[in-house]
Amino acid sequence: MNTSVSITINGIAYERSIPIRMLLVDFIRYEAGLTGTHVGCTFEGACGACTVHLDGDAIKSCLVLAVQCDGRWITTVEGLAEGSELHPLQIAFNEHHALQCGYCTSGLLMTGVDLIEKDSELNEEKVRHGITGNLCRCAGYSNIVDAILSVARARTHEEEV
Amino acid sequence: MKELHAGGIGARLPRKEDIPILRGEGRYFADISIAGQLHVMFLRSPHAHARILSIDVSAAEELPGVVAVITGEMIRNEMLPLPQPSVGGGLPGRKPKFWPLAVEKVKFHGEPVAAVVAETPYLAEDALEAIFVEYEPLPYVGDMEAALDPSSPRVHEDWNDNEIFKSNFRATRSADEHAAHIEEAKRRIAEAPFVVRQRFRTHRCGITALEPRGALAVWDATEGITAWMTTQRPHLQRLSLAEVLKLPQAKVRVIAPRDQGGGFGMKGSVYREPLLVAYLARHLRRPVRWLETREENLMAAGQGRDQIHDIELAADANGRLVALRDKIQTDAGDGCLGGTWGYAMPMVGGMRLPNAYILPFCDIQLRVAVTNKASLCPARGFGIFAPRFALERALDMLARKIGVEPAELLRKNFITTFPARLSTGLGYSSGDFVKTFDRLVELVDIPEFRRRQKEALSLGRYIGLGISTGVEVSGVDNLSYLTATGGPSYATVDLRVDSEGHVTVAYGDGPTGQGSQTTIAQVVAEELGIDPQNVTVLSGDTLTTTYSPGTVSGRGASMVLPAVALACRDLKKKIVRVVANDASMVAGDEEFSFADGYITYCGNSNLRRSFAELAHRIVIGAVDLPPGDTGGLEQRAVFEATRGNVCFSAHAAFVEVSPETGRVKITRYVTSDDAGVVINPLIVEGQIQGGVIQGISNFFFEEYVYNDEGQQMTSTLESYKIAKASDVPRIEIYHDAGTPNPTNPLGTRGIGEGCIAPVPGALGNAISDALRPLGIEITDLPVRPGPLFHRMDVALRDDQQA
Ligand code: FES
Ligand code: FES
C-alpha cells in the first residue's frame, strides 16, 4: 500500500509516493539519495549509524517509518556543513582522528551535535554515556569523545567571552 | 633529530580520507546502485545440521516482483564449487567442497539454502516466506572435543572423521629429530622445579565490522563480470570468481569501494554470497545486488578465536624457561570458507605460540575440528589472540610459583639476538623486545602499585596489575605467504605524475579504514618533497591495478609503503636526469634535494626548478629528453620482503574488581609498542587505541552463543554485545621505544594486526592478580560479572568459615 508524504530534509521538501512500510532510513538513502546516513544493524536501533535529527532531536532513522515523518523536518550529515564551511564538529573529528573506516561517523556527528547543543556542561563521562547508542568498531571511542568535548569547550568558552 | 618535511614521514597529519566521509560523501558499497538492478535475499537454514529432503519454490516464484528463486540443486552444475586453486592454495589440510547454496544438506544454522531475486529488497524478503523446505534433522556436532572423537557423527559425510587439520610444528626437523625434540621437552618438564599445568579456553568471538558485506554484479557479453564487493582482497576475489564461473580472468573485474566500513579479517575471505551474486548477474543478464543484513553477518561471517589450550610450561631454578608443551584444539565450524578454511588461523597461532621468549624445546600439537557452526574466520590478530592469552597467563602463573614479579620473569626470558628462529620454524628478523618492554615497566611503576595494592586489600578492595606481550610477524616473505595462503605477499604500486605535478598512486588492495590514502601521501611527500595534498590514492579495482594480496596482516605499513618509497626513488632518478641534461651537466641523484615543491642542485641553489614545472616539462614538453628517456612521468615498484617484519607490543592493565557485583573496572591501560619508524603517529596511535578496545570488547562482552541444537543465539547487536563508549577506558599509548626495521627501505613495521593480541593476557593477568587473595585464576573467556561475582562470593564465604 502506498501513500504520499512530504518530508523536508536539509531544507529541501521531498514529495514522494511510498509504501507505508518504508523506513525513514530507506527514504533518506533511496528516495532522497542522501547516502551519508548508514545502516549497521538489522533495523534494531542497536548501532546508531543511522542517526539523524528529526525536528531538531537526534533519532535513529531505522526505528521510524517514513510516513511518521510526513510534514516534519530532518537534518542529515549532509546538512551539517554550510556550503564549503564544515561544522566545527566535523573539523574536530578530522583533527582528533575520530574516524577510521568512517561508517559510524555520520551517526556520531549527529549524536555529538545534539549533545553539544543540549548540554552546555558536557564532560567526558556525560559524553561517553551520551554516545552509548552509537557503536564504533574501529576507533576505540576516546578520540571521538575528545572531538566532541573540544567543540563543547570551545562553545562554553565563546559564551563566557 | 631529523627535520620533518611538512606532512612527510612522522607528521601528525590529519587524514585526507576524512573530509568526504565527514560531509556524508563517503562512497561505501551500499551507496552504489546500477539502473535496473535486482535484489537478492537469502533463505538461511534454521537447522545446524539437516538433510534437505525437498525445496518447493513455486509459490515464491508467483509473487509480484519476484524474478527468480534459486536453490543449490539448480546451480550445482552451473558453477564450480570451492575449493579452486586460488583459494585452495598451499594450505596443508583438508578443504571441504561447497557451493554458494546448500547442496543435499545444511551444515550450520544460517547457511544459505535458497536465494530470491526480486525487483526490490522488500519484495525479495516477502518471498522468502513462501519457500518451503523439508528438512530431516541430523545430530548436531557442536563440541570440538566430541567432534574429534572417532565415534562422532560426521559434518562432511565424505570424510572419515571430523579433523580438518593437525600439526606438530616440527619445522624442518626430520621425524626422528622431532621425536628426540619432544623427548627432550618431556624430560625437561619432568625435571623442572617449577611447572604450570593449566587448561585455557577462549570463546568464539571475532571482529565484526560495522559495515556488513555486500556484492553488486553486472554482466555484459563483451567485458564479462564487473562486481563491486566489500573486500580486503579484490584480486583474490577476482581469481576465485573466474574459477567458479569458468571465465578467463580477463573477463572478471572486481572493485572494492573507495570507502569500506571496517574489515578486520571479516572481509578477507572468499564467501558464498558474492559468488552467487555474480553467477545470477550472468544467468539473468541483469545487475544483481546483495546487501547483507546484520543478522546474516552475525550468523555466517566473522566468527573467530574458539580454542582450547592444555599447557605445560616449565622453568629452571633460575627462572629460565626450559620447555613448553601445548595441546591445542580449535573449533573450525564447517570449514567452508575460501582462503583460510577455518584452520589457517590456528595453524599460524600455533606456530607463533612461543611469542617473544627463548623456548628452545616446544611440543606443540594442534588439532582442528569441523563442527556444525559457521566457519572460523580471520579476525584481527590472525590466530594469535587465543595462544597469547594461554601463554601469557601461564607465564603469570609460573612467576607466582617461582615467587617473582611476572615482569621479571618475562624480562629474563626475552629473545635478545636477531635474527632468531623459534622451535616451530618461525623466524624473527629484528627488534628490541627488552627496550620496548623496559619502557612499559618504567611507565607503570610496579613497586608503587604493590604498595597501593596492599593498602587497598586492607580496605577490602581488589586491585590488580597484569602485564603481557605480543610479537607479530607481518608482511612476510613470498614463500611463507605462498605456503600459508596460496598467493605471494609482494606489494606493487603504480605511481603517475600529471603535468601539474599531482601524483596518483594506484595499488590493488582493499583498505577498510587504515588511513592508507594519508600514509601513502606522506611517503610520497617525504620522498618527492611535495605537499601530501597533491597526492591521490586509488585502490581496489582489479582492472586498473596489478595483482596484490590485499589489505591483510599489517601489509600497509610493512609492504605497501616501502613499495611507494621505492617507486618515488626511481622516479627521482629520471627527474634528476632531465634537470641535469637541461642544464648540460653531469650529476648524480644525491646531488639534488627534493623539498618544498622544488628540485634544487646542492652545489648551486640557483639551479632550482619546481616539481610542477618539471612534471609539465616531462609529460607534455617531452622533447630533448636525455638519451634513452621517453616522455611521461610514471613508475612502478614492487617490494618483496626477504624476511618478515616483526613488531612487538607490551601491555599493562590495571583493574579493580568489585566484590559486590563481580564487575571489572579497567583503571588504567598502557601500551609500549615497537611500530618501527612511524609514518603518522596519529594513525598508529589510532590503530592501537582501536585494536586494544576491540580486545577488551572480545574479552568481556562478545560471544557467539549456540544452543544445544546448534542454533546461533547471538545474531543481533543486542545479543552479540560490542563494547560501547561507556564500557571502555582511554588507552595510554607509547611508541617511543621502537626500533627502525632493517628489512625494508622505510624502517616501518605494521602494527595494526598484532596490537590486539596482548590484551587478553594483560586483562586475565590483572584480574587474577587482583583476586589472588581469593585464589581465583582467570582461565576461561569471556569474563563476565555474574560468574566472577559467584566465584568471589564462594571464596569469600570459605574465607569467613575458615
Ligand atoms: S541501523 Fe539504525 S541503529 Fe543500526
Ligand atoms: S570508524 Fe569504523 S566504525 Fe567507527
CATH of the domain at B71: 3.90.1170.50
B208 in contact with A, Cβ within 8 Å = yes
Q: Domain check: are B307 and B249 in the same one?
A: no
In a domain, B401, yes or no: no
Closest CA to B674 of B568, B581, B767, B747: B747
What is the distance in A from the centroid of ligand 1 to the CA of A45? Answer: 4
| A97 part of contact set with chain B, CB < 8 Å | yes
Inter-chain CB proximity A139 and B686 less than 8 Å: yes
Closest to B332 measured CA to CA, from B166, B200, B110 = B166
**How much distance in Å is there from the Cα of B210 to the middle of ligand 2?**
7
| Whether A20 contacts chain B with CB within 8 A | no
Q: Which domain covers residue A45, as residue numbers? A: 2-76
Measuring CA to CA, which residue among B123, B106, B94, B3 is closest to residue B47? B106
Please name the amino acid found at residue B607.
L
Number of domains in chain B: 4
Based on the fold, state whether residues A63 and A101 are members of the same structural domain: no
Q: Answer yes or no: do B498 and B623 share one domain.
A: yes
* Same structural domain, A70 and A7: yes
Q: Does B26 touch chain A (CB under 8 A)?
A: yes
Can you give the CATH number for the domain in which A117 is found? 1.10.150.120
The verdict on residue B423 lying in a domain is no
User: Per the structure block, which three cell numbers stand in for B716?
Assistant: 543481533
Residue B655: inside a domain: yes
Between positions 104 and 123 of A, the ones with CB within 8 A of B are: 104-106, 109
Domain extent, residue B336, equals 140-202+302-390
* pLDDT one-digit tens code per residue, A117-161: 999 999 999 999 999 999 999 999 999 999 999 999 998 888 776
Q: Given A47, A76, A105, which residue is the final one in a domain?
A: A76
* ipTM score: 0.98
In this structure, the residues whose C-beta lies within 6 A of any atom of ligand 1 are A 39-41, 43, 45-50, 60, 62
| Same structural domain, A6 and A70 | yes
The verdict on A71 and A126 lying in the same domain is: no
Residue B665 touches chain A, beta carbons under 8 Å: no
Q: Is residue B396, in this structure, part of any structural domain at all?
A: no
Q: Which pLDDT belongs to residue B553?
A: 85
CA of B730 to the centre of ligand 1 (A): 25
CB–CB of B209 and A38 under 8 A?
no
Query: Which one of A21, A46, A76 terminates a domain?
Result: A76
- Asked if omega into B121 is within 30° of 0 (cis), the reply is no
Each residue of A37-77: pLDDT tens digit? Answer: 999 998 789 999 999 999 999 999 999 999 999 999 999 99
**Cβ count near B46 (within 10 Å):** 15
Peptide bond just before B782 cis, omega within 30 deg: yes
Q: Is residue A81 a part of any domain in this protein?
A: no
Q: Which three-class secondary structure string do you get for B554-601?
A: CHHHHHHHHHHHHHHHHHHHHHHHHHHHHCCCCCCHHHEEEECCEEEE
- Kindly report the pTM of this predicted structure: 0.97
CB contact under 8 A, B22 and A93: yes
Let me know whether A66 and A92 are in one domain: no
Q: Are B499 and B620 in contact (CB under 8 A)?
A: yes
Give domain status of residue B421, yes or no: no
Considering the domain architecture, whether residues B47 and B86 belong to the same structural domain is answered as yes
Domain co-membership, B686 together with B570? no
Tell me the average confidence (pLDDT) per consecutive run of 10 residues in chain B, 802 residues long: 68 97 98 97 98 98 97 98 88 95 98 98 96 98 98 97 97 96 98 98 96 98 97 97 98 98 96 98 98 97 96 97 98 97 96 97 98 97 97 98 98 96 93 97 98 98 98 86 84 98 98 97 97 97 96 91 98 97 91 96 94 98 96 97 90 98 98 97 98 98 98 96 98 96 94 95 98 98 98 91 70
Distance B99 CA to ligand 2 centre (A): 32
Residue B417 lies in a domain: no
Q: Are residues B114 and B256 in the same domain?
A: yes
* Same-domain status, A38 and A10: yes
- Which of B639, B665, B692 delimits the end of a domain? B639
| A141 close to B (CB below 8 A) | yes
Q: Are residues B134 and B148 in the same domain?
A: no
CA distance B591 to B571: 15
Q: Is residue B307 part of a domain?
A: yes
Here the CATH number for the domain that contains residue B669 is 3.30.365.10
Residues A93 and A155 in one domain: yes
Is residue A82 included in any domain, yes or no?
Answer: no
Q: Which ligand is nearest to the CA of B716?
A: 1
Residue of A nearest to B724 (CA): A132
For residue A145, the chain B residues in CB contact (below 8 A) are 725
Q: Is residue A83 part of a domain?
A: no
Identify whether residues B533 and B611 lie together within a single domain: yes
| The total number of structural domains that make up chain A | 2
Instruction: Please indicate, yes or no, whether residues B111 and B217 belong to a single structural domain of this protein.
Output: yes
Per-residue pLDDT, B2 = 46
The residue among A20, A47, A76 that closes a domain is: A76
Residues B765 and B666 in one domain: yes
Strand partners, B304: B205
Q: Which residue among B21, B264, B692 sits closest to A140, beta carbon to beta carbon? A: B692
Q: Tell me which chain B residues have a C-beta less than 8 angstroms from the C-beta of A76.
A: 24
Query: A71 lies in a domain?
Result: yes
Q: Does B716 touch chain A (CB under 8 A)?
A: yes
Nearest-atom index, ligand 1, CA of A61: 2
- Which pLDDT score, from 0 to 100, does residue B1 have? 37
CB-based contacts of B486, cutoff 8 Å, min separation 6: B85, B86, B87, B88, B89, B90, B91
In B452-581 the beta strands, taken as DSSP E runs, fall at 462-474, 491-497, 503-507, 535-539
Give the per-residue pLDDT at B542.
98
B410 lies in some domain: no
- Distance, in Å, from the CA atom of B306 to the CA atom of B303, rounded to the nearest integer, reads 9
CATH assignment at residue A68? 3.10.20.30
Kindly list the residues from chain A whose CB atom is less than 8 angstroms away from the CB atom of residue B728.
Answer: 140-141
In this structure, the answer to whether residues B295 and B344 fall within a common structural domain is no
